[in-house]
Amino acid sequence: MSSLFPVGPAGVAPIAALAAELAAADPSLPVLGPLAADSPHALAAELERCSRDCFDYSPVLVPLLRGRRADLVVRATRLAHVLLVAGACARNGVPLTLRGAGTGNYGQCVPLQGGVVLDLTGLKRLRELDDGSGVVEVEPGCSLAALDRQLAPRGRALRLAPSTYRSASVGGFIAGGSGGIGSIRWGFLRDPGNLLGVEVVTVEPEPRLLRLDASASQPLNHAYGTNGILTALRLPTCEAVAWQQLVVGFAHWGQALEAARGLGSTALELNALCLLEGVICRDLPWPAGCPAPEGEPRLLLLAAPAALEALPGWLRSQGGRMLWQAPQGEGRGLPLRELTWNHTTLHWRAQHPDWTYLQMLLPQPEDACLTALRRRWGDQLLWHLEAVRHQGSARLACLPLLRWQGPEALAALIEHCRELGAFVFNPHVLTVEDGGLGVIDADQVAAKAAHDPAGLLNPGKLRGWLERSG
């Protein structure tokens, strides 16, 4: 094999045996690998592309993940393909990493031990929408936007979506995401009720196809595809609302923070609330027609039409000035949601590549924590807040932008945030647990033992499994 294709830890013989087995079983199965007839350089670039996600927001992850590459990429378009690949990987002892749109931020779909990357974006059928309950069953590769387009004519919409809604897949969101647009109403993906069931393929010599109910599905929710291949998801939907996008300016940060907090205790229906400090606003792209920022903090809202009678007056009473309003649609312009959540980081890093970010849930009241952080870290840390519902209560999450000053400074900042009572969700780590609350979830590990007994799925990403097997 050419040096363009250094075979990963899986080894040359098992990869060759696997490729031969797949080709014999289904010659039409799209497989990319050194045995394919394409130009070696084009192939190497494609293997590289399918082995990456958006981990480059983290200067800690970049050196850990650089150069990790699949030996084969298989593009499944049918359930039968998934069963075939799962069985062949199990029989040949080859690692298997699942991939949706590859927009994750923590290297979730980077194959740490090479092997197969299984691209599931071709498995994208809407199987069922129950008009009575609004429950939908959909295959994992369907993009969130494509799913919403199919729900809209029936008056339904997804409850939750990441700001990468236009590209991200349903399966990748459930396995790798946490929340985003809609979290102000529906909380986080792992909150009971946001995932109603899954169909899952096991990775065994004779793979099984299982259907799990809501509670049995929970260990596969946000497990980075380490404990089962999701081939269908059952999700609740909500009534479709013609959300209005609003940009509101404030003269002072304190007023803007007070308004962001206050909105959580009104009956004004919102689907997103993002608060950005003035310095950040200056370097973001704004939708056409929205006035250029003059250094003022801005509140970005998605509001229901019914909220529009009372909302402007309420905002004025808090010192807010309405700067821009437009319906959210499928138009070509920049939607406001693409200035929120990690899109804020994306746009900021486009101008300031030496910056990164952190994620946390702020303690209440938020001012003391923010003031203490500002006092110690000054303008190395810039405020970006998002309203969420956490365990039934209105809370503010924070995705501050952070000037990169090395891993020691990052560790000191994380410790400081925790001392101040914030829950930190560290985006600079590889495992499910370390990116969460640091706690091993025995149910996730048990699901891996049941569905992937040889530990082939996305190796290195579930700390509970690594520690279990010593």
Range 123-152, binding ligand FAD (CB under 6 A): 140
Instruction: Give the up-direction half-sphere exposure of residue 107: CA atoms within 13 A in the CB hemisphere.
Output: 28
Q: What does DSSP say about strands 116-119 and 96-99: parallel, antiparallel, or unpaired?
A: parallel
Q: How many residues bind ligand FAD (CB under 6 A)?
A: 38
163 makes contact with ligand FAD (CB under 6 A)? yes
171 makes contact with ligand FAD (CB under 6 A)? yes
98 makes contact with ligand FAD (CB under 6 A)? yes
Closest distance to ligand FAD from the beta carbon of 190 (Å): 11
Closest CA to 342 of 169, 221, 162: 162
Closest distance to ligand FAD from the beta carbon of 165 (Å): 8
Q: Can you tell me whether residue 120 is helix, strand or coil? A: coil
The pair of structure tokens assigned to 364 is 């209440």
105 makes contact with ligand FAD (CB under 6 A)? yes
Report the residue from 7, 43, 89, 120 that binds ligand FAD according to the rule CB under 6 A. 120
Which region among 71-79, 177-185, 306-314, 399-407 touches ligand FAD (by CB under 6 A)? Answer: 177-185
Q: Is 64 exposed, middle or buried (0-12, 13-18, 19+ CB in 10 A)?
A: middle
**CA 130-135-136 angle, 5° bins:** 85
Report the residue from 103, 217, 359, 444 that binds ligand FAD according to the rule CB under 6 A. 103
**H helix or E strand, kind and range, residue 322:** strand 320-327
CB 388 within 8 A of CB 398: no
Report the residue from 5, 55, 186, 224 that binds ligand FAD according to the rule CB under 6 A. 224
Distance spanning both ends of the chain, measured CA to CA: 34
The contact mask relative to ligand FAD for 228-267 (x = CB under 6 A, - = no) is -xx-------------------------------------
The residue number whose beta carbon is nearest to ligand FAD equals 172
Range 287-346, binding ligand FAD (CB under 6 A): 341-343, 346
Can you count the helices (H) and strands (E) in the chain?
A: 17, 22
385 makes contact with ligand FAD (CB under 6 A)? no
Residue 344, C-beta contacts closer than 8 angstroms, at least 6 positions apart: 274, 276, 280, 284, 384, 399, 401
104 makes contact with ligand FAD (CB under 6 A)? yes
217 makes contact with ligand FAD (CB under 6 A)? no
The pair of structure tokens assigned to 223 is 């497990």
**Preceding amide of 63 cis, omega within 30:** no
Q: Please give the order of strands across the beta sheet that includes 355-357.
A: 355-357, 401-403, 381-382
Residue 311, C-beta contacts closer than 8 angstroms, at least 6 positions apart: 246, 268, 301, 303
By beta-carbon proximity to ligand FAD, the closer residue of 122 and 155 is 122
Closest distance to ligand FAD from the beta carbon of 442 (Å): 20
Closest distance to ligand FAD from the beta carbon of 157 (Å): 16
By beta-carbon proximity to ligand FAD, the closer residue of 175 and 184 is 175
The pair of structure tokens assigned to 165 is 């809604």
398 makes contact with ligand FAD (CB under 6 A)? no
State the residues that interact with ligand FAD by CB under 6 A: 53-54, 97-105, 108-109, 120, 140, 162-164, 168-169, 171-173, 175-180, 224-225, 229-230, 341-343, 346, 458
